[in-house]
Amino acid sequence: MDTKAIVLKYFKKYSALLEGHFLLSSGRHSDRYLQCALILQYPKVAAKLAKMLTQTIPDEIKQAATVIVSPALGGVIWGQEVGRVMNKRAIFAERQDNIMTLRRGFKLAPEDNVIVAEDVVTTGKSTREVIEVVTVAGAKVIAAVSLVDRSGGKTGLGVPFFTLLSLEVQNWLPEECMLCKNNIPVIKPGSRKIV
């Protein structure tokens, strides 16, 4: 069984591939939503998936990495699992006054080589915000990883990007959304505040 089939099997087993009308954290609308938290709540499954992901990362990146940084809230569990499997420190950035920042005493140094870990990438906004936080802190982002890439490889993060599941899930601007035009109620399942 290939990696994509294994990951999809977990999404189906834990009812984590939702269908309906969803408001994504990017502000776009979609008819499908991947709720990684329903899978990552099981530590053995999360560990297995993180191990599978780290096997896709080239050795030179794994060896150079010193810290995993994730965006809160969705990426925290995934980043912790990736860090545990790689035996690297795992921290997270979070929004304060709607700006992504390091808090809780987390620090990065110029010698830190960072892998940014996100559970789901759609537009890459949260990942790019974390990349900026890392860069402003003086550290270097050497790669980004995700459990799922909803863009089908179109995010263009500017760093090497590794994912377990790449899907192109249809999504629309609210004014173009056919589900809105059909008066289907929208659900916001994500954690990020829409601005």
How far is Cα 172 from Cα 182, in angstroms, rounded to an integer?
A: 14
Domains of the chain, CATH where assigned: 3-181 (3.40.50.2020)
Q: What is the DSSP letter of 143?
A: E
d(CA 107, CA 60): 24
What is the rounded distance in angstroms from the CA atom of residue 124 to the CA atom of residue 156? 8
SS3 call for 61: helix
pLDDT digits (tens, 9 = 90+) for 148-180: 998 777 788 999 999 999 887 788 899 999 999
Q: Give the SS3 label for residue 128.
A: helix
Tell me the pLDDT tens digit for each residue of 68-113: 999 998 899 999 999 999 999 999 999 988 889 899 989 999 999 9
Rounded to two decimals, the pTM is: 0.85
